Amino acid sequence: MLSLYKLYTLLAEGTSHSPQTLSQKSGVSAFLIPHKIEQLKEMGLEVRNFKKCYRLKHSIEVLNAEVIRSYLTPLAQSFFHAIETRFMVDSTQDTLVVEVPPHNAVLFAEYQTKGRGRAGRTWVNPLGGQLAFSLLWKTKRGSEDLSGLSLVVGIAVAKTLRHQGVSNLKLKWPNDLILRGKKLGGILIDVLETESSQSVVIGVGMNLRLARTVKQDIHQPVTDLACHPLLLHNRNALAASILNTLTESLRLFESGGCEPFLQEWQSLDFLFGKAIEWKMGDTTQRGVAEGVNARGELCVRQEEAIQAIVCGDISVKALL
């Protein structure tokens, strides 16, 4: 894994490298360089061969924990005791669920072999093509008081992107970031309870630049931030900006729950006024989405009645 990471960091510069140069700088045998390059390609890295040299189609800013921390506000620096970046993990979410750090912590990964989405779905995570991280938050709120947390996290991410110049951004209940009608990213929440404390692991995955072949392999309309190159070239600053906003949002949610965020949600609500269908088990129902209540539950009108749908294993789909 170390040899792959060294090659990744060299290629991320965006300049051309001969096999000999890569070998000298990485310590990997020149004989093995083509094999390692193929491994990186299989992980989703867009490596081009040109005049017997290797070069990325687009340069990538490699994630660096120290650089991310340098961009944090004093409040965020005190809120997050540990920030770590890793080249490869099974899943940032599962790693924190297993390791359970003693304090608030954040884990970023360049690549996940078993990235996990909501309801156990696979999260496609091409190397260097996303911003993917999980954070462990020690909270005083009970599990029954965490309803709507995925909405609050989504609002924080959306607010950050809007401040960075990303327009036409919406949130689809309960956990999707939508850009121009296509999925840009998602939120995942895992609650961990012990006798002495309660922690929440919050996962965020966002597409920065996806190859056309990757988009074709995903079984839903997806998009990325490729039209915002300044964000792509400043991944560490973007990561820190999201953490800064999340710090403020989590502190407010700790004291006030979901209600202080309802007005912001209304301006971002992708489903409002749309005819939708949702599934619970084998049952499919239909109605019209009418926003969320103070607990972050989706309100749906069916004839003259309003039904509240709680966050759970529910699929919501806007009808055309």
pLDDT tens for 43-74 read: 989 999 887 899 998 899 999 999 999 999 99
Looking at residue 320, what is its pLDDT? 53
32 and 128: one domain?
Answer: no
Q: CATH number of the domain at 14, please.
A: 1.10.10.10
Both structure tokens of 91: 């899943």
Q: CATH number of the domain at 167, please.
A: 3.30.930.10
pLDDT surpassing 70 at residue 123: no
83 and 35: one domain?
Answer: no
Strand, coil or helix: what is 237? Answer: helix
At 119, is the pLDDT very low, low, confident or very high (cuts 50, 70, 90)?
A: low
Domain boundary among 56, 75, 97: 56
| Total Cβ atoms within 10 A of residue 267 | 12
CA distance 296 to 32: 53
At 312, is the pLDDT very low, low, confident or very high (cuts 50, 70, 90)?
A: very low
pLDDT surpassing 80 at residue 314: no
Q: How far from the centroid of its chain's Cα atoms is residue 239's Cα? A: 10
pLDDT tens digit string along 235-270?
Answer: 999 999 999 999 999 999 999 999 999 999 999 999
Residue 150 makes CB contacts below 8 A (sequence gap 6+) with 174, 175, 187, 188, 189, 296, 311
309 and 173: one domain?
Answer: no
258 and 122: one domain?
Answer: yes
Looking at residue 118, what is its pLDDT? 55
Is the CB of residue 184 less than 8 Å from the CB of residue 224? yes
pLDDT surpassing 70 at residue 319: no
Q: How many domains does the chain have?
A: 3
Q: CATH number of the domain at 283, please.
A: 2.30.30.100
187 and 132: one domain?
Answer: yes
103 and 233: one domain?
Answer: yes
Region 13-30: mean pLDDT is 92
Region 162-184: mean pLDDT is 93
CA distances from 107 to 22, 27, 135, 218, 303 (A): 28, 27, 6, 25, 46
Range(s) of the domain holding residue 279:
271-318
288 and 211: one domain?
Answer: no
Long-range contacts of 188-192 (CB under 8 A, 24+ apart): 188/93, 188/116, 188/117, 188/118, 188/134, 188/150, 189/146, 189/149, 189/150, 189/153, 189/311, 190/93, 190/97, 191/143, 191/146, 192/97, 192/100
81 and 206: one domain?
Answer: yes
